[in-house]
């Protein structure tokens, strides 16, 4: 009968439930340090979402080091490096810590957008896209998170994109790179949380930054968006 069928289906699941709960649902014995954070590094700080994050953090009294390909404004220390260049990034982060002290917040917002049909995305284009977004994020977070874990205190936020979740025609390499950032952030969060470091990832929709292409500013496109407009970078910074 129906009861026997339900028992035959649910029985094995019920037997596994205690083990599943022990492995995945146990409460985290973590207490995050409630003291105010005082220092931060933001990549992609010269424009767009990165610049908005610098402004928001500075308004909260945080001393910010901004890293970009050109000097950033509104920050205590302007760092200049390509995030894909590990040695340059580590050198600039060392300078930031000498001038500001240990970095307690890291916002990884550096990136760029490019549209090409999949069959026209060459190996060099793939390498550059992944080098900036994925390795660039790793290059910044590895040295900063190392110190956070040692102090058992810190906050990390990466900037991905809605395209990491839904994809985009003619932007497969960009969507793939942003998808990697989402997965990287989830994995780091699981590693770092037990040691007092919070890791989050923000995946905004179309945002009013210099990266946006002209067709995404057209009224016909804006009408398809839930808000009927582009997201303001300051709105993204408020979630960070």
Please tell me the distance from the alpha carbon of residue 176 to that of residue 179, in angstroms, as a whole number.
Answer: 5
- 75 phi and psi angles, rounded to 5 deg: -120, 160
Check whether 23 has a pLDDT greater than 50: no
Contacts with 109 (C-beta within 8 Å, 6 or more apart), sequence order: 42, 43, 44, 45, 48, 49, 50, 53, 159
- Pick from 63-77, 95-109, 115-129, 226-240: least confident: 226-240
pLDDT digits (tens, 9 = 90+) for 113-133: 999 999 999 999 999 999 999
pLDDT digits (tens, 9 = 90+) for 219-229: 887 887 888 88
Catalytic residue among 112, 113, 174, 221: 174
Global pTM value: 0.83
pLDDT at residue 4, as a whole number: 56
Let me know if 174 is a catalytic residue: yes
């Amino acid at each position: 009968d129906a009861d026997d069928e339900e028992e035959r289906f649910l029985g094995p699941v019920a037997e596994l439930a205690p083990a599943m709960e022990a492995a995945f649902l146990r409460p985290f014995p973590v207490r995050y340090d409630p003291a105010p954070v005082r220092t931060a590094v933001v990549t992609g700080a010269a424009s767009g979402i990165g610049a908005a994050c610098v402004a928001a953090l500075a308004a909260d009294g945080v001393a910010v080091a901004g890293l970009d390909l050109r000097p950033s404004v509104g920050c205590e220390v302007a760092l200049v490096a390509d995030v894909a260049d590990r040695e340059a990034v580590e050198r600039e982060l060392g300078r930031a810590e000498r001038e500001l002290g240990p970095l307690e917040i890291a916002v990884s917002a550096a990136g760029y957008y490019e549209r090409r049909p999949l069959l026209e995305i060459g190996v060099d284009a793939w390498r550059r896209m992944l080098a900036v977004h994925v390795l660039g994020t790793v290059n910044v977070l590895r040295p900063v998170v190392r110190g956070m874990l040692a102090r058992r205190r810190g906050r990390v936020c990466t900037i991905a994109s809605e395209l990491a979740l839904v994809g985009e025609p003619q932007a497969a390499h960009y969507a793939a790179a942003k998808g990697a950032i989402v997965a990287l952030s989830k994995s780091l969060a699981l590693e770092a949380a037990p040691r007092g470091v919070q890791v989050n990832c923000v995946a905004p929709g179309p945002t009013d930054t210099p990266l946006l292409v002209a067709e995404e500013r057209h009224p016909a496109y804006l009408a398809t968006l839930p808000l009927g407009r582009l997201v303001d970078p300051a709105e993204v910074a408020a979630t960070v």
